């Protein structure tokens, strides 16, 4: 019998979910690799038209687009820097022109520059805050008028358990992700009258994410602190994002959806 802590394969359930996001156009920042790739593929599988941004990895982004198309979905990828407001305005316009509208935004683009505070250069603070927090502002600001005019929309911001409890040697990253949580809650109150929901997803140790930067001993130590005893998968985080974009989450807003195996309990 498989462990209850392990993700279960339910092919029939996945087949039943197909089409849950049909008709939706979703903009995903940072969709070329890792968690962003998993989110893009899940949204495409569920029927959404997916517009992905990437900063440098054009080939990887084009592969994501190709994989979605191969599965019968529709996608596009555009190079854009989330720290540049005008570039994000341009991405919003291209998304609407290409797919005929915009219904959801997923802010996934982010960077890490871990270092003890006493060794951290001001530039290492600035770049993380600008990408992880100002990037969320730029993308939401560029999209919000469109969503408000149509009185419909979903915004999902990727934060982290580091934003909930803080992580040593990650003061810049933890601050940026805590800022995303505050931003999410404030914007949720602001745009609720327009039928727009704003939520955040806070991953913990994900095998293809934070956990991959740890050595073998650090990984084993980390697992002892996780009640479920394992690292999460990108697909499990992607499922949470997809839920918050769908009709089933229409009455959920301002919420931080924690996907961490219980490590933040």
User: Going from the N-terminus, what domains does the chain have, and what CATH number goes with each?
Assistant: 14-259 (3.40.50.720)
Please give the sequence-ordered ranges of beta strands (E in DSSP) within 13-152, or none if there are none.
25-29, 49-54, 74-79, 104-107
173 is catalytic: yes
pLDDT, average across residues 219-241: 96
* Dist. CA 54–CA 34, nearest whole Å: 12
* Dist. CA 40–CA 33, nearest whole Å: 9
pLDDT of residue 7: 59
pLDDT of residue 174: 98
Mean pLDDT lowest among 85-89, 122-126, 207-211 = 207-211
Residue 203: closest CA among 245, 253, 263, 243: 263
pLDDT reading at 259 higher than 90: yes
pLDDT of residue 8: 56
**Average pLDDT of the residues of the chain:** 94
**Sorting pLDDT into bands at 50, 70 and 90, what band is 190?**
very high
pLDDT reading at 166 higher than 70: yes
Residue 106: closest CA among 145, 51, 63, 58: 51
pLDDT reading at 32 higher than 60: yes
From 54, 173, 194, 251, the catalytic residue: 173
pLDDT, average across residues 85-107: 98
pLDDT reading at 36 higher than 90: yes
Beta bridge partners of 28: 52, 106
pLDDT of residue 2: 41
């Amino acid at each position: 019998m498989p462990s209850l802590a392990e993700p279960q394969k339910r092919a029939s359930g996945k087949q039943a979910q197909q089409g849950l996001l049909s008709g939706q156009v979703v903009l995903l920042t940072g969709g070329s690799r890792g968690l962003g790739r998993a989110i893009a593929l899940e949204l495409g599988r569920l029927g959404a038209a997916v517009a992905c941004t990437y900063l440098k990895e054009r080939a990887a982004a084009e592969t994501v687009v190709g994989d979605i198309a191969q599965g019968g979905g529709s996608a596009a990828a555009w190079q854009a820097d989330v720290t540049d407001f005008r570039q994000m305005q341009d991405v919003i316009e291209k998304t609407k022109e290409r797919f005929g509208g915009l219904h959801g935004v997923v802010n996934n683009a982010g960077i890490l520059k871990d270092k003890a505070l006493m060794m951290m250069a001001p530039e290492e603070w600035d770049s993380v805050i600008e990408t992880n927090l100002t990037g969320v502002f730029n993308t939401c600001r560029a999209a919000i008028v469109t969503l408000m005019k149509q009185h419909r929309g979903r915004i999902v911001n990727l934060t982290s358990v580091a934003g909930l409890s803080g992580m040593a040697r990650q003061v810049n990253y933890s601050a940026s992700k805590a800022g995303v949580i505050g931003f999410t809650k404030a914007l949720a109150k602001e745009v609720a009258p327009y039928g727009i929901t704003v939520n955040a997803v806070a991953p913990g140790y994900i095998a293809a994410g934070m956990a991959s930067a740890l050595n073998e001993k650090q990984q084993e130590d980390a697992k002892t602190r996780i009640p479920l005893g394992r690292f999460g998968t990108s697909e499990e985080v992607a499922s949470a994002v997809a839920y918050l974009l769908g009709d089933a989450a229409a009455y959920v807003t301002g919420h931080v959806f924690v996907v961490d195996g219980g490590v933040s309990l």
